[in-house]
Amino acid sequence: MVDARPLPDAPFGAAVELDRRSARFDATSAERLRELLAAHHLLVLRGEWSEDEQVELVSCFGRVLPQGPRVVVNDRPRGTHPLVTFVSNVLPDALGTFELAFHHDLAHVATPLGGLSLYALDVAAGQAPTRFANGRLAYQQLPAQLQQRLEGLQGLFAANYTTTSDAAAPARAVRDQLDPTWPRTVHPVVVPHPISGERCVYVNEMMTVEILGLARGDGDRLLDALFARLYDPTNVYEHYWRTGDLLVWDNLVVQHGRRTVHETSPRTLRRVVFGEKTPWEQWPYPAATGE
């Protein structure tokens, strides 16, 4: 049994309740969850979830992907690739406390993640929310003339892990300093959803470097217009975490970011992702590896 209702006072997303007497999901429940994600783009569940249960839930949406290094993604990762990782300000090497600009995960490779899940293991009251912006709603709200202008345009996306003291810098702000050895790829500025076919704006402030085929100034003005629509408060949902929250979202329609994390109280989220390919399955390995 899977029930859902729209999130109150939010432009998109659904709160989901399901029968969890078994950790396994039958075909009917899995199909229902996929339908809900395609319709609402972000699902919010509550309760205690073990690692295995979170992995089982995420497997309803696609291939659960192993997770490798966050930065040096043009090298083949060595050792075991975990299915479960953590975003935390108290665990080592777990993304720290700096602000994150809006982004789609792995938009800098040809096949980004299909979606992500985060489970709040330990989050203090008042900690930084995760912010979500919806590309489908943004496209629907654009003037028809601008929608037509976007047809056929492509954006250049680059791996951008450049940070200032308290934030991840937007790609355009550091585009002339981006490491040329890090992955980059091209995506259409407007993409159809693979299930619904509905059109979505697909650019983000962290990784979109420029619009190809346009003079830099013209491309920047176009990106400014798209970001103004994408990140307008009426198109953004901010999730203020409580321990026991589990979120799943569509990484094509929805991009995410976060505000600066408070250093003095815990914010630990468990991460499981799904999709078709890992980054190292699609980005060329350096010739020196001999592989």
Domain range list for the chain = 2-277
Q: Is 88 exposed, middle or buried (0-12, 13-18, 19+ CB in 10 A)?
A: buried
> Taking the CA atoms of the chain, what radius of gyration do you get in angstroms?
19
Topology of domain 2-277, CATH: Double-stranded beta-helix (3.60.130)
Residues in a beta bridge with 155: 187, 211
Q: Which helix (H) or strand (E) holds 191?
A: strand 190-192
pTM: 0.93
33-56 pLDDT, tens digit each = 999 999 999 999 999 999 999 999
Is a pLDDT exceeding 80 seen at residue 163? no
Share of residues in the chain with pLDDT > 90 (%) = 70
Q: What is the pLDDT of residue 166?
A: 59
265-283 pLDDT, tens digit each = 999 999 999 999 988 888 7
Dihedral angle sign, alpha carbons of residues 195, 106, 201, 43: positive
The answer to whether 19 touches 32, Cβ cutoff 8 Å, is: no
Share of residues in the chain with pLDDT > 70 (%) = 90
Dihedral-angle region of residue 86 (phi above 0 means left; psi in -120 to 50 means alpha; beta otherwise): beta
Residues in a beta bridge with 14: 6, 43
Instruction: Find tokens 């976060």 and name the residue.
Output: 258
